[in-house]
Amino acid sequence: MKNSLILCSVFCVLCSVLISGCNEQNTPAKSTPVKNTLRETPKKPCNCPEDNSLSTVDGLAKYVAPLPAVHGARRWQNSYSDGLVIETAHYRIYTTMLEPLMLRQIPAFVEAAWREYQRQLPVPVGGGNKFTVYIFKDRQQWESYTRSFTGGQAEVYLKIKKGAYYLNGQCVAYNIGRTRTFSILGHEGWHQFCDKYFKYRLPSWLDEGIAQLFEYSDFENGQFVFNPAKNYQRLGALRLSIQEKNVIPLKDLILLNPGEVVMQEQADKAVMAFYAQSYAMVRFLREEGYGKRLLCYQKMLLGALNGTWPLDAAETAIASNKSSPPTVEWNKYIAQKLFDVYVGEDIERISPEYYRFCKKIVYYIRVK
Ligand SMILES: [Zn+2]
């Protein structure tokens, strides 16, 4: 059981990998502009160093240090390979991934993601230590770090085929290509943000559904712009689930967690449906009917942030305990309770509207 709960944080990654091929093909080419238009200081219209300095750690540190989002960059002494520590307003990034274009964009990306996480909430949050992010240059380094970091749980985390995970305050990733690395950093970054600022843990469907809002971003005019409606990876998965009649009933969806889903028959399809439908459910609550449920959604999140869900003392202790994974039973209990309290509609009555919304957001998606 413990492993299945740990897998909650793992299989969102596996799911993204399972359908990433579809995403790569469907993602518009314009999502990866090479032209760099980040705002430079007037006195330094171009901070490009001598070409040969980009092949040294010190040269790369000088290369990224003047960027607007960067508060500092220095050599990272580690046992893996040459590396950098890059500080931004809210993040401390340890990386052995020294690809110049990605290095240049990562600070702006994580700060843009932070602002986007913040926008989920009607009140500002902040304070405390900076978030820790590791980005390794390859899987070998990532596996080595994961073995020492996760200890007895290492075998579970090493099942991740490609990507990243969030655990105990750290987001640990490796380079799987610019688009997919940023996608997974956006996703795992939400879990990191949520874990730090929220008093209560969210039920699985809600936590995973929100995390997927940050998987797609465009780089436009020197800034990252997140657009959940263009998350073609999840839209493709949703379309496929509808097409193949693998849609999970809404009353079951809100009670599930990824660890349970992966134990089902045809686990790959079930995991894909769980994530895609959770993503769709969050968008449904935020968008459908001109946002008629947005206030309920925000109250539910605000209750988790401030610890004001209507819980008794015993329930409060469980909801706020972040030192161990939630049980399957608790996830089911709190998911149903929150739905009843905050959404406040009969789930059988709301289901047809949700399915119509799912069909609406994928009507233009073609799946081969
Ligand atoms: Zn996740």
Q: Which 3-state string (H, E, C) describes the chain? A: CHHHHHHHHHHHHHHHHHCHHHHHHHCCHHHCCCCCCCCCCCCCCCCCCCHHHHHCHHHHHHHHCCCCCCCEEEECCCCCCCCEEEECCCEEEEECCCCHHHHHHHHHHHHHHHHHHHCCCCCCCCCCCCEEEEEECCHHHHHHHHHHHHHHHHHHHCCCCCCEEEECCEEEEECCCHHHHHHHHHHHHHHHHHHHHCCCCCCHHHHHHHHHHHCCEEEECCEEEECHHHCHHHHHHHHHHHHCCCCCCHHHHCCCCHHHHCCCCCHHHHHHHHHHHHHHHHHHHHHHHHHCCHHHHHHHHHHHHHCCCCCCHHHHHHHCCCCCCCCHHHHHHHHHHHHHHHHCCCHHHHHHHHHHHHHHHCCCCCCC
Ligand 1 centroid to 238 CA: how many Å? Answer: 17
Q: Using CA atoms, how far apart are residues 349 and 288, in angstroms rounded to an integer? A: 15
Ligand 1 centroid to 150 CA: how many Å? Answer: 17
CA atoms within 13 A on the CB side of 19: 31
User: What does the pLDDT read at residue 48?
Assistant: 55
Ligand 1 centroid to 213 CA: how many Å? Answer: 11
Q: Residue holding tokens 């559904």? A: 209
User: What does the pLDDT read at residue 161?
Assistant: 77
356-120-36-52 Cα dihedral, nearest 10 degrees: -120
Ligand 1 centroid to 190 CA: how many Å? Answer: 8
Ligand 1 centroid to 44 CA: how many Å? Answer: 40
Q: Using CA atoms, how far apart are residues 8 and 325, in angstroms rounded to an integer? A: 9
pLDDT in tens, the chain (368 residues): 344 434 444 444 444 434 333 333 333 333 334 344 444 444 444 555 555 588 899 999 999 999 999 999 999 999 999 999 999 999 999 999 999 999 999 999 999 999 999 999 988 998 889 999 999 999 999 999 999 999 988 888 888 877 799 999 999 999 999 999 999 999 999 999 999 999 999 999 999 999 999 999 999 988 999 999 999 999 999 999 999 999 999 999 999 988 777 777 777 888 999 999 999 999 999 999 999 999 999 999 999 999 999 999 999 999 999 888 889 999 999 999 999 999 999 999 999 999 999 999 999 988 87
Ligand 1 centroid to 191 CA: how many Å? Answer: 7
Ligand 1 centroid to 31 CA: how many Å? Answer: 23
User: What does the pLDDT read at residue 228?
Assistant: 96
Ligand 1 centroid to 9 CA: how many Å? Answer: 5
Ligand 1 centroid to 48 CA: how many Å? Answer: 37
177: left (phi over 0), alpha (psi -120 to 50) or beta: left
Ligand 1 centroid to 228 CA: how many Å? Answer: 15
Ligand 1 centroid to 41 CA: how many Å? Answer: 37
Ligand 1 centroid to 65 CA: how many Å? Answer: 31
In sequence order, which residues have a C-beta less than 8 Å from that of residue 77 and are 6 or more positions away?
Answer: 83
Q: Using CA atoms, how far apart are residues 188 and 190, in angstroms rounded to an integer? A: 5
Buried-state track 266-279, b at ≥16 Cβ within 10 A, e below 16: eeebbbbbbbbbbb
Ligand 1 centroid to 32 CA: how many Å? Answer: 24
Q: Using CA atoms, how far apart are residues 101 and 165, in angstroms rounded to an integer? A: 23
Ligand 1 centroid to 58 CA: how many Å? Answer: 35
Ligand 1 centroid to 208 CA: how many Å? Answer: 5
Ligand 1 centroid to 260 CA: how many Å? Answer: 14
Q: Would you say the C-alpha torsion 55, 61, 67, 69 has a positive or negative sign?
A: positive
Ligand 1 centroid to 186 CA: how many Å? Answer: 10
Tokens of residue 341, six digits: 């309290």
Tokens of residue 192, six digits: 């990191």
User: What does the pLDDT read at residue 323?
Assistant: 83
Is the CB of residue 305 less than 8 Å from the CB of residue 121?
yes
Ligand 1 centroid to 222 CA: how many Å? Answer: 27
Is the CB of residue 230 less than 8 Å from the CB of residue 216?
yes
pTM of the model: 0.86
